[in-house]
Amino acid sequence: MRFETNFSCSLATAIVGTTMLFGGTAFGQCTVTPPPGTIATTDGCAHLNGAIDNNGGCNATPNLFTDLGALSSGGVMNVSGQMGLYIPTAGTTMSSRDLDWFLVSCPAGTLQVSLSTQSYTGTGQMPSSDIFIKANVGADPCLGSFDVAIQSTACPHIQSITAGAGQHLVVVTTEFDTTAVASSPSQCGTYLMTLSHTPLTYPICGTATASCTEVHAAGGCNLPACCDQVCSFNPLCCDIGWDQGCVDSAVSLCGLFIYNCAPPPSAPLNDCAIASQLITIGQGNVYADNTNAGTDGPGPAVGLCSSAMGKDLWYTIKTPANGSLTVSTCTGDQTKDSVMEIYGLGTDPVMTSARAQTLPDLYIGCNDDSCGSASQINLIDALANNYYLIRIGGYYATGGTPDQSVTFSLPIVTTFENVVFTTGPQQYIVTTAGANTNLGLSSGCIAAPPASQQRWIAAPFTVPSSSSSWNLTRMTVKGFQPAGSVNATLNYVVWRRLAGNPAPLAADQVVAGSVPMPTAYNNPLDSSATSSYDIAVSFNLPAGDYYLTAYASNPDCATGVLSNFAWFVCAYNGVNLLDATNAPFGWRSQTFPSPGFVKYTGLNGAYHVQTGADPNDLYNNAFDIFGNPASTTPPCPGDYNADGVRNGADLATLLSAWGTPAGDINGDGNTNGADLSTLLSGWGACPQ
């Protein structure tokens, strides 16, 4: 659950977006006419009526790949097939896309993939195509990340990797089109993929095992592309031995990282990664002043962050529990262009020179221009009792040098939110045809009145008893906004969940509210990209059992302007609802309060969970709840958000909890006039 976008091995065949690099340069003639000897795939495109996708790769159960065999040194191989968008079995919308997964074995060298496409109408190329490549896969091609994940409008679309001898994974598809509608035919076009191999200029680069950043007696090093590039510049690095000059060339030509810190005169004490400043969450008066700082972190050529930084400073911070860590410079001068990176240290905070050499391996992500030109890190899956290394430096432009970095003096503000409840990541759901898909249940006014004016879901959760109550700060719901919906707000209702898990009634409502429709962001642990929506809240919940409702709306829902938040299902750590026969179901309403929430079993038979997962998780909506424990006897009664002041925000919390236990101050189990009197009598700053 990180703040950056990664690309994992599993690729969605349904509504999904992914952050990739884009290219648009035309490379040559775009033709899908297969030359003699072309290998024709037989899987087709629209996998309907239970048809098995025989090259569905990691999206198929079991995994299924087309093994193209061996591509000889300097050889060429052509493959033809179909890919595109289609309506899945029992579906009504264009909610799946076809991916073709191939394995090919090559000698050491460069594998180039050239992809030409034709649209389903036969009148031109596909609007865009995607190429994914993973080098040197092991026994399980689904493990690990892709080395190349690029979308392009070019035809042919050309990508390549340089790697040692072995088996490589190539995946091709078209980008998902959220504007595709039910009335469209299956949008399956044809393609011609050409695989070509170019051997290394220096064969030893395909077999050498010594590090490219260390001097060694034998020629060559363990990164084939870098090795070949260095030896083309200086052949002695392959013919004789890998000396310091070869190491220096590898660093400059290939962007490799060697840790070295030589602080300039008057440098700050935390100028080096091996001398970071230990700070605590919430610590005040922490300022980063990089006026005289040097640079010792990985440079932009290493590919850690798209924004180059120099004159860097280092901080180490420990998280007390599983939760969300925020490190921010946003309260300072937002015109000062800072960049921030975060590295995971596990339970060991000690950073030695040897360990600093592995900083690229410890890297989690970066941020630039979060608020104006200032930076802010939001690590939403920080682990209990783990240390994190924060690097903050000044931005410098492409073509510049670290000594040209922006200088600043900025406050560093740190906050932390505990995980009060989590269903865990959103997971793929599996169709009857065996294809992975991301499925959301519509929530909001999804049909013209009087039907579906309040299509609501009640998802169960539990507030832990490790604290008598919790001050909630944020709820993150996972889903997407279907095309055609107009969503002005994202709304929530929390209900009491009584023994036996009956459907919530109007009297069970604890608190309700809404926020302007948030901007979605990516949590790479989820199966669908860009699907997390944050709802900022400020209210107290005692330990116990509850339901959560989340739905979209707009001011004109009552007149037929539709709104829809499709809330993803199939989260494996949620609370299961089971009927009298121990079959799973979900609570869902069409209108409320009448007929209210009824048992929903519409997924039965059409979908199932991944092999090995609990089938009872089928209806679990994906969401996280964050907050901080409230003390048993609040030192400042009525300060619900624990900001040290009893003010309008606390009054709003109390009034929204009226008649429920959620805002109870005096311990009588109800929020009423007595609690209001307590709040008003202590209005203002809390006693110190």
Q: What tens digit of pLDDT does each residue of 157-173 get?
A: 999 999 999 999 999 99
Res. 677: pLDDT tops 70: yes
Residue 77 pLDDT exceeds 50: yes
Task: State the chain's mean pLDDT as an integer.
Answer: 87
Q: Are strands 544-553 and 76-86 parallel, antiparallel or unpaired?
A: unpaired
Residue 684, token pair as written in the block: 């203002």
Closest by CA position to 600, among listed 622, 580, 572, 577: 577
pLDDT at 427: 92
**pLDDT confidence bin for 423, thresholds 50/70/90:** very high
> Who's near 680: CB < 8 A, 6+ residues apart?
none
The first and second tokens of residue 179, run together, are 């504007």
Residue 13 has pLDDT above 50, yes or no: no
pLDDT digits (tens, 9 = 90+) for 229-276: 999 999 999 999 999 999 999 988 888 888 999 999 999 999 999 999
Q: What is the mean pLDDT of residues 31-37?
A: 94
Query: Which residue has better confidence, 503 or 30?
Result: 503
Residue 564 confidence (pLDDT) above 80: yes
- Supply the pLDDT for residue 449: 75
Is pLDDT of 226 > 90? yes
pLDDT confidence bin for 644, thresholds 50/70/90: confident
Confidence of residue 18 (pLDDT cuts 50, 70, 90): very low
231/449: higher pLDDT: 231
The two tokens of residue 160 are 């390549």
- In the numeric block, the tokens 């104006």 are attached to 372
Overall average pLDDT of the 275-280 stretch: 93
Domain 634-685 sits in CATH at 1.10.1330.10
Domain boundaries, the chain: 21-199, 203-254, 273-415, 423-626, 634-685
Q: Which residues, 6+ apart, have CB-to-CB distance to 572 below 8 Å?
A: 423, 424, 425, 427, 609, 613, 614, 617, 620
Tokens 């169709």 -> residue: 431
Q: Among 298-312, 514-528, 558-572, whose mean pLDDT is lowest?
A: 298-312
Model pTM score: 0.66
Residue 679, Cβ neighbours under 10 Å: how many?
Answer: 22
Burial class (CB in 10 A: 0-12, 13-18, 19+), 238: buried
Kindly tell me if the per-residue pLDDT of 180 is higher than 60: no
Say what the pLDDT of residue 398 is: 82
User: Which token pair is 244?
Assistant: 């310091």
Cβ atoms of 168 and 104 within 8 Å: the answer is: yes
Buried b (16+ CB within 10 A) or exposed e, 140-170: ebbeeebbbbbbbbbbbbbbbbbbbeebbbb
Better pLDDT: 284 or 95 = 284
351, amino acid identity:
M
Q: In this predicted structure, what is the pLDDT of residue 65? A: 94
Class of residue 415 by CB neighbours under 10 A (exposed 0-12, middle 13-18, buried 19+): middle
For residues 308 and 402, give the distance between their C-alpha atoms in angstroms, rounded to a whole number: 8
Domains 21-199 and 273-415 share a fold: yes
CATH topology of domain 273-415: Jelly Rolls (2.60.120)
| 332 or 27, which is more confident | 332
Rounded Cα distance between 571 and 109, Å, is 42
Give the CATH number of domain 21-199; options: 2.60.120.380, 3.90.1150.10, 3.40.50.300, 3.30.1360.20.
Answer: 2.60.120.380
At residue 12, the pLDDT reads 33
What's residue 23's pLDDT? Answer: 38
Report the pLDDT averaged over residues 657-670.
73
More confident position, 92 or 613: 613
Helix (H) or strand (E) holding 355: helix 353-356
Residue 620 has pLDDT above 90, yes or no: yes
Q: What's the CA gap between 452 and 552, in Å, rounded?
A: 12
- Contact by Cβ (8 Å): 496, 510: yes
Residue 20, pLDDT > 60, answer: no
Per-residue pLDDT band for 399 (boundaries 50, 70, 90) equals confident
Q: What is the pLDDT of residue 98?
A: 86
Is there a contact between 517 and 490 (Cβ–Cβ < 8 Å)? yes
* pLDDT > 90? residue 127: no
